[in-house]
Structure 1
Amino acid sequence: MDTLLNNSDLFISGFRNTLILFFFSAIFALVIGIVVGAMRVSPVPIMRGVGTVYVNFIRNTPLTLLMFFFAFGYPKLDLPNPGYTVLAIIALSVYTATYVAEVLRSGFNTVPVGQAEAARAIGLPFGPTMSLVIMPQAFRAVIPPMMSVFIALLKNTTVAAGFSVAEAGTIRANLSERGEPAIVVLLWVAFFFVILVGFLAWLQRSLERRWKVLR
């Protein structure tokens, strides 16, 4: 307990930055994933092709390599450099969006074909059909796998610690310089991650119960 109380500043700042990375990465990944997921089931071959290439290329690239590019390769392109934290959010968003897209695509496939046919029969084009008919039903079907993706995103934020982003993954290194025992620090970091993951699991169960009633 002394390790936690005597170094509360590092724990607070580290997990605050972790939550910032997670929150913004989750939002951007969800937005990108919805677009890519819709492209994957689009009737337009070019859109399907672009979505497929994006998912297969990014998903098969290690997150560390993607983070390495944004941390060291991007600044050499002479483009505006928003800082390591923003670049880490971009890398996490681009990477996680591929999994969001695939989860949503599986959700789209659970919606009966008759729903889309009925929407087209009343004159709705592809965009409104997806946003008003297919997507609301698909989201209800993919809550568990979607939350699993976000739980993985939360844990993946620790990769940013290797690229000068001061989040929870850097707490152990910083406290080692203060002479704190590494095993105790790691146990405290793991404890707080368990709490955060438990909150996401509780949110998943709550959404499942709520939307199950609305069906």
Structure 2
Amino acid sequence: MNAGCAGAQPPAGTGEDRAVPEERNGRQAVTDTQAGPELETLALRIASEHLSVPMNDLEVMQVEPVDWRDSSLGCPQPGMNYMQVITPGHSALVRHAGKIYRVHMANGRGFICERRLEKDVAPKLPLRELTLSQAQLEALARADLARRLGVRNEAISIRQTQPVVWQDAGLGCSVPDAPAAGAASKGYVITLAHKGRAYEYRADLRRVIPCPPIESR
């Protein structure tokens, strides 16, 4: 069943699967640690079909290995039964038009997980927009800078990350396609470095942008 976390974060206590190191919490180690181009292509194809947009309009921001706890691949639906078996797979973050979608994958298949609520519960519990952690935002910034500079992610270092509260939708930058100013939002100023040169990224809890634009430097 195709369902997933498109632009939504699962409610607390759902126990969504995450990749965890072998030595932590006594959980089973992630079985497959390789995230090659074929996985990025699979994530792009899944997102392209789900959103009905060309693959060229999408960008894979992150792919990480996950041991899904059952055959639902971390996206159980009400009234459905699933095999209780560890399923090695991957979770990918794909960006389109400023929004980030989470793709759940295993055994060459996958879907964007949009957790559906029961009809009588849905009006009372609206889905929340997906938010990212500081570590995920730092990873997105590193991946974006590495792509722009044509280097590996490992060549980019993080100098510092400072929490801030943004007062505008452009995160304090002049962004041509940014929406009109709205409510204040929490975020970070992330300073990266490559070969002694510093690059500043600004983030809310959904996206990262270079500021000033790297092309203008």
How does the TM-score come out when normalised to structure 2?
A: 0.28
Q: Which has the larger radius of gyration?
A: 1
Structure with greater strand percent: 2
Q: Which has the higher helix share?
A: 1
Structure number with higher relative contact order (C-alpha < 8 Å, ≥ 6 residues apart): 1
